[in-house]
Structure 1
Amino acid sequence: MIFYFSGTGNSKWIAREISVVQHERLISIADEMTNPDAAFQYRLTDNEMIGFVFPVYSWAPPAIVMDFIDKIRFENFRNPYMFFVCTCGDEVGLTVDIIKKAAGKRGWSFNAGFSVIMPNNYVCLPGFDTDPKELEEKKLSEAVPAVGHINALLTARESDVFEYRKGSWPCFKSRIINPLFNKYQVTAKPFFATDSCISCGLCEKACPVHNIRVVDKPVWGEFCTSCLACYHVCPQLAVQYGKATRNKHQYFNPHH
């Protein structure tokens, strides 16, 4: 059983690759969190593993992932093999420590955890943009054997294996910057559509939490995760985030 959250497709691609090789069910965290009838209760089959795949947002797991972990309950929970994979543009800060602690509060223990470097997609602050095309292609190419390596370890049910890049100043980034990010940047308020909008509806379809409705132009609700799928999927670059995304570029995982 693999739970995933994804905006621009990086984590979805990895979750799908793992689910195919491991023959595990694939469940969208966003779909569960936006389903008013969701019970957040899941029955495990014998020898079924539990995995979480998600992006790193400002050096920590996305709030929606942390909220989901707090809600879920398992039936037939008999010390299953548990793992996580987080995608990042470069480094993860204290992401591993944070999700391990959240699991510990639930009485769980991860057997393995990994980070996979994928193309950058965060563009909503000065100095932040997508990767140059050459670097984007390099990251995508190197991600294939990286996921293959992870699958090999998962197949062998390897334990106490944690492979990730924490990076510099992890405490400052995850303990100081991340709370500020969640407070001030995880909001749909600055989003708007320019006159280039053709009302194609791709932004509405791409939003994992169904926070967009196209009425002539897109209208954003209040349940935004700051995944930026709407910005990156727009064929006209009509979706903008205040002035921060002027002259910025787009990225969407080609395998999504």
Structure 2
Amino acid sequence: YLDVRDNDPDEEERTRASDRVEVLTPLVKAYCSDEAWPIIADCIQVYGGYGYCEDYPVAQAARDVKVLSIWEGTNYIQSLDLMGRKWTMKKGAAFAAWLQDIRDFINDNKNTPGFEGEFANLERAVNSYMEIQMTIGSYFGNKQYGMMPLYARRILTATAQLYCGMVILSQALIAQKKLQEIGSDHFDYSFYAGKVAAARYYLMNIVPNIWAVAEVVKTGDTSVLDVPVEAFEY
């Protein structure tokens, strides 16, 4: 998108790419750095007690990666940017077009043999995400302005998981075709098989978080907003 935005001779394509860059910027910054921290934590666990020591590089990696969620705007600020600016950019048209990209991908590929379950989950995730947006909109209409910052981080994560679901599934479709072409004795077979397996795992285990977030948002629990400040003194 960056290359297209800066170099495409077609002004319409440049505008489209620029809109996608704007929408994706908080996702790339926040989701990647949020996920990096628990991944490094798991790496430390793999080493057991040694992982906490300086004998192995994961301790250094943990220190290095933590700052990524802080600089260039903390990830909470990125989540507010997503909901406050990207959702409403160009009166909502830019984000709606981004969502339509995902819907188009689903409609074009959902009948691919062997991936019916994955596409069903992605489609359910898109619908759940629309419910999230409509629910937040209704809260704003009722002047419940505290609901956006209350759910912002979780909504950003769900947004990124939705997009990653599409990206990783598109990779799996290509990988599946390559597997059929090269055969199991090819030196690249395991690489492509890993792409397919990773997509299946992500769509079946990570993407369902999106409709879980939708249910939480629709519940509208305000206990964290209602708790008296004095409660934190104990």
**Shared fold per TM-score greater than 0.5:** no
> Which TM-score applies when normalising by structure 1?
0.26
Bigger radius of gyration among the two? 2
**Structure with a larger share of its residues in strand:** 1
Structure with the greater relative contact order (CA < 8 A, sep ≥ 6): 1 or 2? Answer: 1
> Which TM-score applies when normalising by structure 2?
0.28
